[in-house]
């Protein structure tokens, strides 16, 4: 299999800053976008070091959050894994992060959604990131499913665990970038009872959007909310990450959480 480089295109300075009222700054000029990173896939000659990927995550977070980022010290979210069946919440939120993001919730979309949903439900929601076998490497994007089978299986395990531990709780889910492929693969593989417990799923920058015809195979369209910004090439089946791929801040803070709340 021939592996081509991923080209990360970002904006000089701060991309798509968020105004105080939560609206995106419409003054962003796509002409300011410049390719600043061309990364060979890990395992090939001249592949970046692990440190360079961490540096890339810092750049991505800064772009996505308008110059700010969530602290890595927030760590993993493992409420479902660590929670007791005797203290199940009303809502369980399962999230799959994008490539190279740190912690099982990432530092962009996942943290924004976590904050919004916790503001709505307080302590009556468990937040669970997909971690473990899901390593969120760039190379995994080139696999047939857009991620590894181990990553899909780990996400599936989270949904199965929610059904076994808290069958009366409502489950909602989301994924960003490579995490959308993880979620699409996992939800499609669930049995009917487990899938029925999942009341809604939001995908941002859906890397399997073109391949899957704009849906999650085998999952109800009415329960699905997909955000693909104009110019986000991954939504068109092209593994070229442009500035538009980092433009989902408002959707992550407002639109996506609202969709999930409305389906509970």
Q: Which residues are part of the catalytic machinery? A: 177, 232, 245
- 178-189 and 149-165 helices, crossing angle to 10°: 60
CB 138 within 8 A of CB 95: no
Residue 19's Cβ-side half-sphere holds a number of Cα atoms within 13 Å equal to 7
Give one DSSP letter per residue of 143-208, joined into a string. Answer: STTSS-HHHHHHHHHHHHHHHHH-TTSEEEEEEETHHHHHHHHHHHHS-HHHHHHEEEEEEES-TT
DSSP 253: I
Contacts of 191 (CB under 8 A, 6+ apart): none
Distance in angstroms (rounded) separating the CA atoms of residues 240 and 234: 6
């Amino acid at each position: 299999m021939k592996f081509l480089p991923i080209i990360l295109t970002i904006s000089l300075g701060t991309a798509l800053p968020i105004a105080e009222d939560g609206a995106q700054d419409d003054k962003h000029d796509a002409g300011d976008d410049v390719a600043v990173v061309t990364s060979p896939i890990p395992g090939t000659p001249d592949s970046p070091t692990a440190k360079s990927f961490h540096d890339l995550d810092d750049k991505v977070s800064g772009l996505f959050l308008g110059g700010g980022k969530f602290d890595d010290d927030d760590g993993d979210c493992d409420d479902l894994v660590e929670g007791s069946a005797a203290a199940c919440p009303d809502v369980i939120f399962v999230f799959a992060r994008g490539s190279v993001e740190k912690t099982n919730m990432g530092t962009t979309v996942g943290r924004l959604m976590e904050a919004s949903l916790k503001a709505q439900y307080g302590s009556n929601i468990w937040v669970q990131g997909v971690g473990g076998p899901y390593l969120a490497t760039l190379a995994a994007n080139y696999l047939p499913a857009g991620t590894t089978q181990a990553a899909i299986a780990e996400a599936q395990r989270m949904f199965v665990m929610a059904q076994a531990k808290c069958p009366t709780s409502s489950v909602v889910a989301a994924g960003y970038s490579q995490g959308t492929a993880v979620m699409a693969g996992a939800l499609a593989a669930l049995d009917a009872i487990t899938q029925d417990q999942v009341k809604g799923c939001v995908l941002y920058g859906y890397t399997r959007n073109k391949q899957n015809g704009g849906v999650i195979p085998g999952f109800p369209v009415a329960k699905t909310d997909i955000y693909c910004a104009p110019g986000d090439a991954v939504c068109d089946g092209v593994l070229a990450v442009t500035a538009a791929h980092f433009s989902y801040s408002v959707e992550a803070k407002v639109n996506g959480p609202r969709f999930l709340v409305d389906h509970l």
